[in-house]
Amino acid sequence: MTFPPQPAGVGTWLTEPPPKPRSVTAAVNFMYAGAALEVLGALVTVARIGALTTAIAVREGVTSSEAHGVAMHDTLAGAVGGLISASLWLWVARQNAVGRNWARILATVLFALYTLLAWLILPMEHPGGVGAILASLSWLVGFAAVICLWRRDASHYFNAVSHYLVRPRYM
């Protein structure tokens, strides 16, 4: 009995995922650090609600109760936003760790959006304030992660994993 020849490319599929290069591991660790910075930022936001209430009351000339309401709203928005950002950092880190190329692209797009947001918002922050320092550190961590994700060895890894994940239907 004779069998038809194997289709071209069948022998090139990987049987196991390739080893993760150090640049991808570093990028994932940077993303974990970014998540930690976001959680720290959320905690700082909650911790300074008293100072924010006082500042609003003095600057706007409103009652303490009204100032507290505004401060609570801003604090809640900042804390929830920080926790959502931390979750996003963790999710993208996990997807990059397993070699999803779309996650590498998403991380780059999110970094570009964060850069634009930081460029627009950071001038409004107090230059030596905790918020400005945490935002700057987050930007640096994101920059380092993106650099690591687009190194040559990382690109080879993402390409190899995509070939490992895409299996021919006839096998």
pLDDT (tens digit per residue) in 142-166? 999 999 999 999 999 999 888 775 5
pLDDT above 90 (res 9): no
Confidence at residue 3, expressed as pLDDT on a 0 to 100 scale:
53
φ/ψ of residue 9, rounded to 5: 90, -5
Q: Who's near 75: CB < 8 A, 6+ residues apart? A: 45, 46, 49, 52
CA distance 83 to 80: 5
Burial class (CB in 10 A: 0-12, 13-18, 19+), 65: exposed
Give the per-residue pLDDT at 128: 66
**What span, in angstroms and rounded, lies between the C-alpha atoms of 108 and 106?**
5
- Three-class secondary structure of residue 102 per DSSP: helix
Give the global pTM: 0.80
> Which tens digits make up the pLDDT trace of 25-56?
999 999 999 999 999 999 998 998 888 888 88
pLDDT surpassing 60 at residue 120: yes
C-alpha dist (Å) from residue 44 to 8, 40, 51, 97: 58, 6, 11, 29
Q: φ and ψ at 32, to 5 degrees?
A: -65, -40
Q: 125 vs 72, which has greater pLDDT?
A: 72
Three-class DSSP category at 48: coil
The CA–CA distances, whole Å, from 6 to 10, 15, 160, 170 equal 7, 17, 21, 10
The type of residue at 50 is G
The pLDDT of residue 105: 97
Q: How far apart, in whole angstroms, are the C-alpha atoms of residue 152 and residue 125?
A: 37
pLDDT at residue number 85: 95
The per-residue pLDDT for 93 is: 97
Confidence category of residue 109, pLDDT binned at 50, 70, 90: very high
Per-residue confidence (pLDDT) for residue 171, from 0 to 100: 47
Looking at per-residue pLDDT, the higher value among 74 and 147 belongs to 147
pLDDT score at 112:
96
